[in-house]
Structure 1
Amino acid sequence: MPVHKLILDDVFEEVRYSLIALHCTIEDYRLAYLLNKNLGITLSRKSSDLDHNNGKSTYSIFEWEDEKQLTTWSLVSNVCKIETYQQIDYQSLFDNQETIIKKTNLIPEYKRVNYFLKIDNQLNFSREKYILNNVLKIPQIATAYSIDSNKLKSKDNLIFS
């Protein structure tokens, strides 16, 4: 009996998006406000955070759907800080607990990046450069740059829907 092989390369098309890394130390809501103001967009906080590793780490996410351009803008935090308690076994009268803060990243390849701005719709080079220049005009942002999403190892973490 012959073996039939299905090739599905043409069926599932890769979703195209632009990804901008943002280095800054301000809170997520302040960054969303500044991006809204400088880019003319309307990012708003989603009702639930982005859940990763079955609730072990959560990342704040802001989203805006531009229905004119058929584009979805997402601002997501790359850093999650989890406070845990560790029992310290000193030979003392009292129980001692030490607070430990664990830091996890949504995209581990870019540990120093604080936020990612994901734009679901392949932009042409000049439009992406225009957005990047407007982001760099914000004084609270130390630096911002485009990332080639095809070279990411953990690009599955950027699927929000």
Structure 2
Amino acid sequence: MQVHDQPEGVGSRRTVEAKLGRKQGTFTERRIIHDETARVMAFVIEADTFGLGKLLAHTGSLMRLEPLDNGRTRLTWSFFHEPRNAVARLMNRLMILRQQRRNRLRALESFKSYAETGAARRPPAELGPVEAAPAGTTMDEPSPAWEDRTAPHANHSGPQ
């Protein structure tokens, strides 16, 4: 990740390397919410090398940390976007929401592993199948230590 603006806060930009399916690329994001008291931050994607901007408008994510009991913390990570046309709406339902969920679950597992062990992020090849979820959970039953929110309809994939 490359941070473009210091200090990081509302309006700061960063470029994040990502892998969608088999394609490597980048997203350039601008922070739109930064509230340390509420433990919330949100970003919108301003540019990407995947071509998603041609299909989706108002794309971004919101992350919220919530203290729990016994020194645990819940990370809620929501994505949001708006398909630009009929083809994008169809692709959203058939592919985009599913891929977004897979990527988010992998990232959440990586966050969880780092928080619990301090271990550096494992490469995707070491994370196992794309559908992998934390031990003792299923894709539809997040553990109390982390949470994934997927919107109930195709035109919006977060925040709820």
- Shared fold per TM-score greater than 0.5: no
Provide the TM-score with structure 1 as the length reference.
0.37
Provide the TM-score with structure 2 as the length reference.
0.37
